[in-house]
Amino acid sequence: MNASRELEDRLRAIVGAEHVLVDPDVIASYCTDWTGRFVGSSSTVVRPASTAQVADIVSLCRREAVTLTLQGGNTGLSGGAVPPPGALVCSLRRLRSISEVDRQSGQLTAGAGVTIADVQARAESAGWAYGVDFSSRDSATVGGSVATNAGGLRVLRYGDTRAQLVGIEAVLGTGAVVSHLGGLTKDNTGYHLPSLLCGSEGTLGVVTAARLRLVPRETERVVALLAFDDVAAAVAAVGRCRSALASLSAAELFFAEGVALVCRSFGLRPPFAAPHPAFLLVEASGTTDPLAGLSAVVDSLVGVADAAVASDESRRAELWRYREAHTEAIATVGTAHKLDITVPAGAMADFVAAVPGVVDASCPGAQTWLFGHAGDGNVHVNVTGAPPGEERVDEAVLRLATGLGGSISAEHGIGLAKVQWLALSRSPAEIAAFRAIKRALDPDGILNPGVLLPTDPEALS
Ligand SMILES: Cc1cc2nc3c(=O)[nH]c(=O)nc-3n(C[C@H](O)[C@H](O)[C@H](O)COP(=O)(O)OP(=O)(O)OC[C@H]3O[C@@H](n4cnc5c(N)ncnc54)[C@H](O)[C@@H]3O)c2cc1C
């Protein structure tokens, strides 16, 4: 059901006329995901600017049996922010208040619409840092990153978004506001709602603000780009770096095809004179110069065919670009199927070796691009050349990952993209518990229908 004229008027009364968008040309960008693979439709986008307005919108929609699709920066890669027919889009980008840093506790409170880059900048202005970082930082929001439990480049050092959450404010699907932003580090007083809402992909509540833990600001940083002629040696090097290098802050794995694409797409020179099949980017950071420690560990690694080490900021950025530009470069080839899986560390080399064959067998001619946060066992499998609706290739890759003891989503979430394969990673008892929680916090199922849990339980493969 599309929003009626009367419902639109009531939304206008809540947020102001200019924040209820109904022009199809304006709404179009809210209805397509970053990859272009998931395209939805909606008649209305509503843009609240306060928690009270969000609560009024949720209560109104509950009364009127209208569903809401929640959206932050719309950089999600699982289609979860794309509206199914009949849903209103509730864009949280106007919730942009951000507190000063509490320098004593190392915390700040940010509204759901604050970008990750703005959290980082606010933290740094007070001599702290935010432990979460990923390349969509300029658009991705606090609300979206909490909803997806975003990971990124520093998980091996600081953990995922859930690990940064001290408190949360949210509007549940009932319309009730739950707010616990006091910032106590220790607070064992019942169920930990921040943990529950984090990673719930907007299916239980609308995150309106988060109290975030900050980490010490590290002023010294060294990056090493290492080339390997053998993928297994590159994977083994990650374990060695993790055990021997206390200052390790990132370990990213990528491959010759991806680097060649990045170089072609952005006019970069190849990182090394000779070609190599696999690359590992490791970063060490601290408050004292980590160069000596990093160099000693690099010297001890087996199988390093070439290496470039950088301490100065511009050269470090050049080396990072070979990794960080992968997602944008792949987008230039076509609409990608994005499958962000995790496998146990010991299975990563086997997974990487097997996945192109599995893709080709299920969709001949499709192309596989791999890169990942190697320290977390997280491989991003990108497939281009497969039609957006072709799902056999997704299923084949997800089954390969779970067959090796892995998970169908490391950090992007289930969204709409993987909902039919949830049972590959979760047991019937776990899914039944998910449904019970959903019924308790969103009894009428008005928040993000079809995301994470299929609306039709029979749809689970
Ligand atoms: C170039 C690129 C690189 C990326 N790299 C990484 C990476 O390294 N690691 C990683 O984890 N992700 C990565 N992502 C994915 C994405 O940026 C993250 O998932 C991010 O956290 C999404 O934030 P967003 O504000 O854009 O959320 P959206 O895309 O708007 O929404 C994502 C999900 O959260 C829900 N949601 C949004 N806001 C709220 C809210 N306030 N309350 C409740 N639910 C809400 C939506 O309904 C949807 O289900 C990358 C994306 C791109 C494009």
**pLDDT-derived band at 456, boundaries 50, 70, 90:** confident
CB-CB contact of 83 with 89 (8 Å): yes
Cα(135) to ligand 1 centroid in Å equals 11
Q: Is 121 strand, coil or helix?
A: helix
Q: What residues does ligand 1 touch, defined as CB less than 6 Å away?
A: 34, 70-77, 80-81, 92, 112, 134-136, 140-141, 143-145, 147-148, 150-152, 201-202, 206-207, 327, 411-412, 415, 448, 451
Cα(340) to ligand 1 centroid in Å equals 13
For the beta sheet containing 177-180, the strands, ordered from the edge strand earlier in sequence to the opposite edge, are 107-111, 205-213, 165-172, 177-180
Least confident segment among 1-15, 247-261, 313-327, 392-406: 1-15
CB-CB contact of 132 with 161 (8 Å): yes
* 93, pLDDT greater than 70: yes
Averaged over 9-21, what is the pLDDT? Answer: 98
Mean pLDDT of the chain: 96
Q: How far is CA 103 from CA 121, 361, 378, in A?
A: 14, 55, 34
The model's pLDDT over 173-210, given as tens digits with 9 standing for 90+, comes to 999 999 999 999 999 999 999 999 999 999 999 999 99
Averaged over 16-30, what is the pLDDT? Answer: 97
Averaged over 38-60, what is the pLDDT? Answer: 97
The model's pLDDT over 437-450, given as tens digits with 9 standing for 90+, comes to 999 999 999 999 99
Share of the chain above pLDDT 70, in %: 98
Q: pLDDT at position 200, please?
A: 98
**pLDDT-derived band at 454, boundaries 50, 70, 90:** confident
In whole angstroms, what is the distance from residue 97 CA to residue 116 CA? 13
Q: pLDDT at position 2, please?
A: 57
Q: Is 401 strand, coil or helix?
A: helix
